[in-house]
Chain A
Amino acid sequence: MDVYLRYGPALRRKCERMLHSREDAEDVVQGVFVELLGRDRPDVDLPYLYRAATTRALNLVRDRRRRRALLDRHGEILAPPSGRPEDRAASRQLLLQLIDTLDDSHAEILVYRYFDNLTQDEIAAVASVSRKTVGKRLDRIREALEALAGREEAQ
């Protein structure tokens, strides 16, 4: 399958950034392309696959049986994706904890912003929402991140 060989490595790198596991990343990529085989999608491109992989990776993160293993892998501190002060530095562990409290639409955008470093325009294009919606959801994510980080620091 040509699209698998063409886009598979890029998708695998994306999943490794989020999941910090080669095995989990390959499982997600396999799942994306195996599902794709059953559909007639001549217009597959990397942004489409980014979204498909994000959805699968989020499901994996939320799987209670796998979360412990993911959280036990201590992640490095991620730099603010844009250098802007409103994007707080957050560890991978904190972001994965936050994902569990967010609904799908916010969790997806968190992944694009903090793991893939997508701009708001890119997020809007990949997630098929308006830039205004992306902005609102990022504000909500930052508030939730501050709240969670504050609770963590207080403990």
Chain B
Amino acid sequence: MIPDVEPGCPISWLQLELHALGELPAAAQARVDAHLAGCPACRERAASLGVHVRPMPALRRPPPRWRFAAAAAPVLLAASALLAVGLLVDDGALWADGPGIRVKSGDGIALTLIRERDGVVVEAPTGFRDGDRFRVLLTCPPGAPVVDVVVVQGEQVAYPLDGPFDCGNRVALPGAFRLTGAEPVWVCAVEGAPGEASGCVGLAPE
């Protein structure tokens, strides 16, 4: 229970917290020390800061959320089957543990990228160079409404493959796309109505 403020006390909760953290200037720290020495109520308040402190929960990182607004935009990505380009309106930060880390949604949708470079094929790469060619393997439970695959780089968005797709285990999606540029890229499955992306894979420019 956090004790109520004693009427007339000049010590705010902010000052007490800063005092407990040792972040007050020396003169202010001394003033608070002097006040606490003579004020039992404020001593109780100060003491309450260290009592029953629950551990801080881990920061929750929200899944990527996208809203798409139809608008003309310069095409950054070269694709073998580019369908539409839109401006991305990001209403939340894009969270990642690092490029190339696959983020699986709770409903079992996952993408696996296959990179082709100079005749060498690599599964689940972590990076790309200009001109690298990518194909996508889609894993999703039957009936999942995966309507498309979106490729995002900065504020540029492209749908290089021809959806919707049938779900299954590591289904090779028709088509391929090439990447260029110096910004990280995210490749995500798009579920249902526009705006919900999942199973994102990140790639860093090499």
Asked if B12 and A122 make an inter-chain contact with CB atoms under 8 angstroms apart, the answer reads yes
Residues in A whose Cβ lies below 8 Å from that of B8: 82-83
Q: How many of chain A's residues touch chain B, expressed as a range?
A: 35 or more
Bound-state Cα–Cα, A9 to B53, Å: 7
Which of B7, B21, B60, B93 is A80 in contact with, Cβ under 8 Å?
B7
Using an 8 Å CB-CB cutoff, how does the interface string of B41-54 with A read, 1 for contact, 0 for none?
00000000100011
Q: Closest chain A residue to B90 by CB distance?
A: A38
- Cα distance A1–B57 in the bound complex, in angstroms: 12
Q: In the complex, are the beta carbons of A78 and B14 less than 8 A apart?
A: no
What is the count of residue pairs linking A and B with beta-carbon distances less than 8 angstroms? 78
Q: Is the CB of A4 within 8 A of B5?
A: no
Q: How far is the CB of B36 from chain A (nearest CB, A)?
A: 15
User: How far is A37 from B12 in the complex, measured between Cα atoms in Å?
Assistant: 28
| Range of interface residues on B (Cβ < 8 Å) | 20 to 34
Point out the residue from B18, B54, B59 that lies within 8 Å of A30, measured CB to CB.
B59
In the bound complex, CA of A1 to CA of B58 (Å): 10
> A-facing mask of B4-17, CB < 8 A → 1, else 0?
11111111111101
Q: Which residues from B are CB-within-8-Å of A26?
A: 57
Q: Which of B14, B17, B23 touches A126 (beta carbons < 8 Å)? A: B14
Interface of B is mostly: loop
Task: Assess whether A76 is interfacial by the CB under 8 Å rule.
Answer: yes
Q: Cβ of A4 and Cβ of B2 under 8 Å apart?
A: no
- Residues A13 and B56 in contact, CB atoms below 8 Å apart: no
Are the CB atoms of A46 and B59 closer together than 8 Å?
A: no
Partner of A79, one of B4, B17, B61, B93: B4
- Closest chain-A Cβ to B74's Cβ sits at a distance in Å of 25
Please provide the chain B residues from 72 to 88 with a CB less than 8 Å away from any CB of chain A in the complex. Answer: none
Task: Check if B62 is an interface residue, CB within 8 A of chain A.
Answer: yes
**B93 and A38 form a contact (CB under 8 A):** yes
Q: List 29 A-B contacts (CB under 8 A).
A: A4-B59, A5-B56, A6-B21, A13-B2, A14-B17, A17-B13, A30-B59, A30-B60, A34-B61, A34-B62, A45-B23, A46-B18, A46-B21, A78-B5, A79-B4, A79-B5, A79-B7, A83-B8, A83-B9, A116-B12, A116-B13, A116-B14, A117-B5, A117-B11, A118-B13, A118-B14, A119-B12, A122-B14, A122-B15
